[in-house]
Amino acid sequence: MLKVENLVAGYGKVQVLHGLSINVEDGQLVTLIGSNGAGKTTTLRALSGMIAPESGSITLGGKEISGLASHRITRLGLAHSPEGRRVFSTLSVEDNLLLGAFPRVTGARPKGDVQADRNRMFDLFPRLSERRTQLAGTLSGGEQQMLAMARALMLQPQVLLLDEPSMGLSPRLVEEVFSIIRRLKDAKVTMLLVEQFAAAALDVADFGYVLENGRLSTSGPAAELKNDPAVRAAYLGTAH
Amino acid sequence: MQILLQLIASGISVGMIYGVIAFGYQLTFATSKTLNFGQGEALTLGALVGLTTINFLIGQAIATPWAYLLMLPIVLAFGLLQGAVVELLGVRQAIKTNSEAGWIMATIALGIIFRNLAENIWGRDALRFPSPLPEQALSFGGIRIQPMEIAIVVGALLLMLLVELFNRKSIYGKAVVATANDRDAAGLMGINTRIVITFSYALSSMSAAFAGVLVAPITLTGATMGAVLGLKAFAVAIIGGLSSGAGVVVGGLILGIAETLTGYYIESGYKDVPGLVLLLLVLSLKPSGLFGKPTIKKV
Ligand SMILES: Nc1ncnc2c1ncn2[C@@H]1O[C@H](COP(=O)(O)OP(=O)(O)O)[C@@H](O)[C@H]1O
Ligand SMILES: [Mg+2]
């Protein structure tokens, strides 16, 4: 579904990613783990067009998307819940969700039933339901994170990119977020999950990649990675 | 007391004109953090295009009030187009390359070009703009108000209300607000933020052009009419806060009234001073404007 080959990207003259290849199959939950500053966020930014890759190929459902503007990539069905949540703080929870479906409402993607999907989001994230008319800027960090995820899901995406949905959340909320990710996986939502909580991410994922200084050091089925001594030493020692 | 009320009444309509132009500054600032320093010239061109249009319509034996109403959509459409041209020619490249000075120079340069264009097409003399309403002032308990002054207030409020309604109710308006909130995140929603910015420039110039045809019947029309108005409205935008919608109305009224009061009680030669003093005060004491929220930079 999403295929990345030899991705090179960075910021201006600073090259951060030095040739990554990642594959996300239809219906799979793939995780990209790595320590702070490894280039996980940069990878997702390059995939969704927030930064233009220097070279390499990115295909979504067989279509080359590398170098396209982010709004075009979104319209092709790639949703990105970015690092830091980035919700629209002066708009209501409902409006944030509606904007997640912008390409559907404006005819760039099949419309379906936007209203019903919004209600489905309120079922999936009951905390948002209580706050539907509240401005997003007044939500707690955890609620904003859920809004960011729900907003991305409103696209009815072919692939969903999640950048550290657990960042800055209390342990109880982290648990809640991961249980939602599990439910999305059961619903066959194709996902690429970036996490620092490597253990939790490998628990839910089908397949994992380990990123180190802009290069992939290891990859494999999540269950195998969890038992890989090198991965355990570097990423699973402290977490959980 | 009578005189004071009279001065305030006169100040209100001028203030609303400042408010509308300042509102235009806010529109582009919200989405792109850039301003069109040719706003005054957008007003000039709007008024002059309006003048030619209304004179043509009156020449077709259409009564002046009707001619004025028919002229409005043409002027508004022209303003939209003119603003889009400014963004495409002067601003887009500067935003793309993150150039701080680029858009300042480009919008000033385009403003000068537009002024020259106006001088060459309409000449350098001030021209009379046909008034759609009786020029005879109405008396409210001795306070004399021209019907056109009331029309200015109503028209200005209506314009801002309609834009606000569009932003709140329509999906495209919400896309504009989203872009103003967080441009990158708006892009992730599938919103073409480059077009949103072009659109906000179009809307900004449209507001100025509308202000031009609102004010023209009570002043005179000419190639230089917008320069001072544009500058004062800039002061209003700073005083009211570039991010506060209601701030520009209050800021405009403060400046408009301060000017008429100064002109009467002190010396008409000093009419322009209070606005500038206020501007300097606000800049040094509360740079985000009287009603603006201080901008919090999130890392
Ligand atoms: N906007 C930016 N401009 C320049 N360098 C950046 C920017 N964002 C991140 N970097 C650099 O890119 C590298 C990878 O960062 P990032 O992708 O955010 O890592 P991760 O998400 O894995 O923590 C870091 O060295 C970081 O300093
Ligand atoms: Mg990151």
Tell me if B270 is assigned to some domain: no
Q: How does pLDDT run across A4-14, given as a tens digit for each residue?
A: 999 999 999 99
Tell me if B268 is assigned to some domain: no
Overall fold of domain A1-77+157-165+194-240: Rossmann fold (3.40.50)
pLDDT of residue B297 exceeding 80: no
How high is the pLDDT of residue B293? Answer: 65
Chain B within 8 Å of A199 (Cβ-Cβ)? no
Residue A203 token pair: 């628990």
Cβ of B189 within 8 Å of Cβ of A91? The answer is no
SS3 at position B141:
coil
Domains of chain A by residue range: 1-77+157-165+194-240
pTM: 0.93
How high is the pLDDT of residue B243? Answer: 80
Q: How does pLDDT run across A43-53, given as a tens digit for each residue?
A: 999 999 999 99
Q: How does pLDDT run across B279-292, given as a tens digit for each residue?
A: 888 888 887 777 76
Please state, in angstroms and rounded to a whole number, the distance separating the CA atoms of residues A69 and A102.
16
**Biggest alpha carbon distance in chain B?**
62
SS3 at position A196:
coil
* DSSP code, position B218: G
Provide the domain count of chain B. 1
**Chain B environment of A70 (Cβ under 8 Å):** 184, 187-188
The angle subtended at Cα B280 by Cα B277 and Cα B281, nearest 5°, is 85
Confidence of residue B96 (pLDDT cuts 50, 70, 90): confident
ipTM: 0.95
Tell me if B258 is assigned to some domain: no
Q: Give the DSSP H or E segment for A6.
A: strand A2-11
A136 to chain B: closest CA residue: B181
How high is the pLDDT of residue B101? Answer: 84
CB B196 within 8 A of CB B28: no
Report helix angle B39-59 to B102-122, nearest 10: 30
**Closest ligand 1 atom number to CA of residue A36:** 23
Tell me if B4 is assigned to some domain: no
Place of tokens 């030619």: B52
Average pLDDT over residues A13-17: 95
**Distance set, CA A78 to CA A66, A69, A193, B100, B158 (Å):** 12, 12, 13, 32, 40
Cβ of A71 within 8 Å of Cβ of B190? The answer is yes
**Interface mutation vs chain A, best among B183, B188, B196, most A CBs within 10 Å:** B188
Confidence of residue B294 (pLDDT cuts 50, 70, 90): low
Please state, in angstroms and rounded to a whole number, the distance separating the CA atoms of residues B244 and B238.
10
- Check pocket membership of A84 for ligand 1, CB cut-off 6 A: no
Q: In whole angstroms, what separates CA B103 from the centre of its chain?
A: 19
Q: Which is it for the CA torsion A208, A210, A211, A215, positive or negative?
A: negative
The percent of residues above 90 in pLDDT, for chain A, comes to 92
Domain of residue B54 covers 20-230
The identity of residue A56, as a single letter, is: G
The whole-chain average pLDDT of chain B stands at 92
- Check pocket membership of A13 for ligand 1, CB cut-off 6 A: no
**Chain A environment of B174 (Cβ under 8 Å):** 91, 95, 98-99
Q: How does pLDDT run across A136-169, given as a tens digit for each residue?
A: 999 999 999 999 999 999 999 999 999 999 998 9
The whole-chain average pLDDT of chain A stands at 94
